[in-house]
Structure 1
Amino acid sequence: MNESVRCLVPGCGDAVAPDAPLGLCGEHLMTAAEWVGRRDGVADVLPTPCLLCGSRLGVRWPSGWLCAVCEWRHGEPVDGELPPPRVDVVYYLRFRDRVKIGTSARPRQRLRAIRHDELLAFERGDRSVEKRRHAQFAAERFGGSEWFARTDVLDAHIAALSDGVDDPWDLFARWTSEAFARQG
């Protein structure tokens, strides 16, 4: 839009900025943005990480912030009487040219105890899922251990699990926050 364009709001007549997306002056654009924010909320970075899931993504409403992942209201205390939810995961760790397939309900603790180069992926599941993966990749297994040779088949499985996931810990945080939400 060029500088000679005037605001479409009756009685305003202020100039519209050349890069304005609509024929509204700055003041009326702000009013429209505030109105949309009240109706739809505004996605933004939380002032501090969510106490439940650790996410930094939030939705800002006139009444306050909500975590965009678990919907915890920012600033509210976490109910310390609630036991933390159990979230079982199957983890895939790389150490040199091997992959460990294991399971844990407390992966942070468990992974600190295992020497590894990289966390490749998480899969939601317990020992039964872990057992199925051990059977599925039995040809790549080193003896009776939980360590497997890297093959195209195993790499493809891990790639499918991590498709669209930048950081496996973000996925675990989402599963944990969902479990908190189910607890009520």
Structure 2
Amino acid sequence: MPALVCLVDSCAHPVDPAAPVSLCAWHAAVSADWVSARDGVTDLLPAPCRLCGSRLGVRWPSGWLCAVCEWRHGDPIDDELPRPRVDVVYYLRFGDRIKIGTTAQPRQRLAAIWHDELLAFERGDRLVERRRHATFEEERYARTEWFRRSPALDEYVLSLAAGVDDPWALLARWTSEAIARRG
């Protein structure tokens, strides 16, 4: 039986008889490098993830996966399943005041509140919110969830925002983690 030679013109190197394509080891490696440069690369999804809202995806030969929750772009979502509940404590700035509140539906809640900027999200429910209100009680406007800015409050909010470019992306990650835990 004659030895197999590489399919590439002017290459006479031998081919492993078990190889699925008649390429020498060097040409097979070059081909693999070329394919891998495109696949497995993180990039913008063609459209936001319908499950968690992230715009970041990973391109594979079989299609796009959300980089946050790993939903396969284009797959149907079971709309009968309720979205997982993710409670957050939010920190909003309006002028020189900061509001500390909590919600399980931050997009709807924040749309209903006048504010200049979303400063940060903290994972937590009413108990965490009450703890923050107690911690910053001296800065609190009486019987409201609004607080005067102070070095201590500013420092705390900055610590929550450290390393977070977009609080909404953090919320998307928490949501996708809750979906993954649910299975």
**TM-score higher than 0.5:** yes
Structural RMSD (CA): 2.2
Runs of 4+ in 1 over 3 A off after TM superposition: 27-31, 35-38
Q: Report the secondary structure of 1:84's partner residue.
A: coil
Residue 160 (str. 1) matches residue 159 (str. 2): yes
**Alpha-carbon distance in 2 for matches of 1:175, 1:51:** 15
Q: Once the 2 structures are TM-superposed, how far is the Cα of residue 144 of structure 1 from its aligned partner?
A: 2.0
Percent identity, aligned pairs only, is 66
Matched, 1:74 2:56: no
* Structural mapping, 1:57-136, within 5 Å: 57-136=56-135
Tell me which amino acid in the other structure corresponds to 1:34. V
What is the deviation of 1:33? 2.8
2:137 paired residue number:
138
| In 2, Cα distance between equivalents of 1:45 and 1:112 | 26
1:3 corresponds to which residue? Answer: none
Displacement of 1:62 in angstroms is 1.4
Instruction: Identify if the C-alpha distance between structure 1 residues 31 and 126 changes in structure 2 by more than 3 Å, giving closer, same or farther.
Output: same
Report the equivalent of 1:34.
35
TM-score (norm 2): 0.81
Higher mean displacement: 49-58 or 28-37:
28-37
TM-score (norm 1): 0.80
TM-superposed CA distance for 1:178, in Å, is: 1.4
Structure exhibiting the larger radius of gyration computed from Cα positions: 2
The gaps in structure 2 that reach 5 residues or longer are 1-9, 13-25
For structure 1, the residue ranges without an aligned partner over 5 or more in a row are 1-9, 13-23
Count of aligned positions: 161
